[in-house]
Amino acid sequence: MRQSRILSFFRAKEAGLVAVILVLGLLLTVFGGTVQRKVRDPKTGAVVSMVETNKFLQRQNLDIIFKHSSWTAIMAVGATALIISGGIDLSIGSIYCLAAVTGAMFLRWLGPEGPYPSASAAWVVPLGIIVTLLMGSLCGLANGLMIVGLRVHPFIVTLGTMSVFRGIAFVTTRAQAITDYPPEFGHFFRHTVFDFTLVPIVMVLLVAAAGSVFLRHTVTGRYVYAVGGSETASLFSGISVGRIRVAVFTIAGLAGGIAAIICLGIYGSADSSTGRSYELDVIAAAVVGGASLSGGRGSAIGAVLGALVIQLISNGILILGIDQNYTEIIKGAVIILAVVLDQLGASLNRRRLLKT
């Protein structure tokens, strides 16, 4: 039994994605070339010598990849749950922005420049995190309630809230960047171990694990797959389809809130243009990660791997010295290619099954 589970993982599409990531990494290591890296004295910070290192396979570069894919990965886990249920969320970039701005304003209010400069960071920071998460979830809940309650297609509702949520952020910030919150917040998130920014990486792993447990090991998770597979059959099985749909939209919003926390920590500021067009990266990551837009298929691990693949492509263009202006073209082509290959694989698989 255990062995068959390991075997089935290698047959699963996550294994294919891991292979793609390894191959991409190998190609970039071989063809990326080398770069001169400064070695500093740990005490004085003065440059002691120069060392030649691989351009791709070095700690700083890998850290950038992990850090920069972390918020996409987290939101992609939420979006994957949503896409599995047959939904879609175009407003996720705006939810991310509104949650970040709300969190930032709250933290500034309790921060050193606010009316309560003596407030202790020990409870200000957790409170800020909660407020940010709450804002994300509320936005998702609003999406879900409108879609189910008003019976409007998710594409339309979230297209609308995409601009409503960002508009709220714009009005409340008066188009200003919100900074000046407790420095402990940024320190915590920017803390590095062996040059790796630890907190975002750990958060991605936690979210992936939580998403995986939710989708595979909870009743609601199983219902999510059922609703996406067939809404009618789910209804005939006694599933409260509406409740499940509201729940996944809320989860997608919550993921937006979690990603917003990283944004606050890493960048130290938020404004109303934060996370513009992120929704497309997020949906792309989910789809490359194996979520089917027709519903019923996808996984949390796949979403994280999908986000990594997309980040690797951007990074590869940089490493290989390809003209930056081509980034968008290459990224778009790769997304289409990934889905075409996936469908090809699925139809081959079906044919194999029919033969036996």
Partner 1 sequence: MTAPILQFRGITKHFPGVTALADVSFDIAPGECHAIVGENGAGKSTLGKIVSGIHRADGGRILLRGREVAFRTPREATDAGVKVVHQELAFCPNLSVAENLCLGDMPRSRGRLCWRAMGERARKMLGQVGLDVDPWTVMGSLSTGQEQLAQIAAAVGGEADIIIMDEPTSSLSQAEAEKLFTLIEALNRDGITILYVSHRLEEIMRLTERVTVLRDGQYVETLVTSQTTTDEIVRLMIGRSVEDYFPEHVDRPPAEALLAVKGLTSPGKFRDVSFTIRSGEIVGLAGLVGAGRSEVARAIFGIDSFTEGSIDFGGRPLAIRSPRDAISQGIGLLPEDRKRQGLVLSMTCRENVSLSLLRRLKRLHLLDHRRDRALAEEYFDRLNVRAPDVDADIATLSGGNQQKLALAKWLAQQCRVLILDEPTRGVDIGAKVEIHSLIDRLATQGHGILLISSELPEILNLSTRIIVLADGHITGELARQEADQASLMRLMMNVNA
- Please give the residue ranges that form the binding site for partner 1 (CB under 8 A): 213, 216-219, 221-223, 225-226, 228-230, 232-240, 295-297, 353-354
Q: What would the two tokens of residue 165 be? A: 């949520």
- Closer residue to partner 1 (CB): 8 or 60: 8
Shortest approach of partner 1 to residue 226 CB, angstroms?
5
> Whose Cβ is closer to partner 1: residue 181's or residue 223's?
223
Q: Please report how close the Cβ of residue 236 comes to partner 1 at its closest, in angstroms.
A: 5
Based on its alpha-carbon atoms, the radius of gyration of the chain, rounded to whole angstroms, reads 22
Using the minimum distance from each CB to partner 1, give the nearer residue, 162 or 224: 224
Task: Name the minimum Å distance from CB 71 to partner 1.
Answer: 28
Are 245 and 75 in contact, with CB atoms under 8 Å apart?
A: no
For residues 124 and 105, give the distance between their C-alpha atoms in angstroms, rounded to a whole number: 12
Length of the chain, please? 356
Closest approach of Cβ 353 to partner 1, in Å?
A: 5
Our CB check for partner 1 shows the closer of 192 and 240 to be 240
CA distance to 137, 212, 354, per residue, from 301 (Å): 22, 7, 29
108-129 burial code (b ≥16 CB/10 A, e <16): bbbbeebeeeebebeebbeebb
Least separation, in Å, of the C-beta of 298 and partner 1?
11
Looking up tokens 């879900």, which residue turns up? 144
Q: Which is nearer to partner 1, 273 or 294 (CB)?
A: 294
Beta strands in the chain (DSSP E): 34-40, 47-54, 192-193, 196-197
